[in-house]
Amino acid sequence: MSRPAAPVAAPASASVTRLTLTEFRCYAYARIEAGPGAVVLTGPNGAGKTNLLEAISLLSPGRGLRGARSADFQRLNGPLDAVWGVAATVAGPDGETLVGTGREAGSERRVVQVDGKTGKSQTALADILSIVWLTPQMDRLFAEGAKGRRRFLDRLVFGLDPAHAGRVTRHDTALRQRAKLLAERLGETAWLDAVEAELAATGVALAAARVDMVARLARALDASTGPFPRPVVTADGPVEARLSNQPALAVEDWLKESLARNRMADAAQGETRVGAHKGDLGVMHREKSVPAALTSTGEQKAILVAIVLAAARLAMAERGRTPILLLDEVAAHLDDTRRQALYAEIAALGAQAWMTGTDKTLFDALGDEAQHFTIRDAVITQA
pLDDT tens-digit profile of 92-103?
888 999 999 999
Asked whether residue 3 carries a pLDDT value surpassing 80, the answer given is: no
Compute CA distances 98 → 117, 148, 356, whole Å. 10, 30, 25
- What does DSSP say about strands 280-285 and 290-291: parallel, antiparallel, or unpaired? antiparallel
- Residue 336 — pLDDT band, cuts 50, 70, 90? very high
Q: Which pLDDT score is estimated for 2? A: 35
CB 312 within 8 A of CB 320: no
Asked whether residue 355 carries a pLDDT value surpassing 50, the answer given is: yes
Asked whether residue 127 carries a pLDDT value surpassing 90, the answer given is: no
- Residue 30 — pLDDT band, cuts 50, 70, 90? very high
Q: Would you say how long the chain is, in residues?
A: 383
Q: Which pLDDT score is estimated for 4? A: 40
Q: Where in the chain is the domain with CATH 3.40.50.300?
A: 1-130+321-383
Q: Where in the chain is the domain with CATH 1.20.1050.90?
A: 149-318
User: 1-130+321-383, which class in CATH?
Assistant: alpha beta
How high does pLDDT run on average in the chain? 93
| Average pLDDT value for residue range 184-188 | 91
CB 75 within 8 A of CB 82: yes
Asked whether residue 216 carries a pLDDT value surpassing 70, the answer given is: yes
Compute CA distances 106 → 23, 80, 122, 212, whole Å. 15, 11, 19, 42
0.85 exceeded by pTM: yes
Compute CA distances 111 → 152, 163, 229, whole Å. 23, 19, 40
Q: Which pLDDT score is estimated for 8? A: 38
Phi, psi of 284 (to 5 degrees): -120, 145
- Name the residue among 360, 363, 367, 297 with its Cα closest to residue 336: 363
Angle at 210 between CA 327 and CA 143, to 5 degrees: 55
CA–CA gap between residue 273 and residue 21 (Å, rounded): 41
What percentage of the chain exceeds 90 in pLDDT? Answer: 86
Asked whether residue 231 carries a pLDDT value surpassing 80, the answer given is: yes
Q: Name the architecture of domain 149-318.
A: Up-down Bundle (1.20)
| Average pLDDT value for residue range 205-218 | 98
| Average pLDDT value for residue range 9-17 | 76
Fill in the DSSP letter of residue 89: E
- Residue 383 — pLDDT band, cuts 50, 70, 90? confident
Q: Which pLDDT score is estimated for 11? A: 57
**Contacts with 332 (C-beta within 8 Å, 6 or more apart), sequence order:** 357, 358, 359, 362
Asked whether residue 5 carries a pLDDT value surpassing 50, the answer given is: no
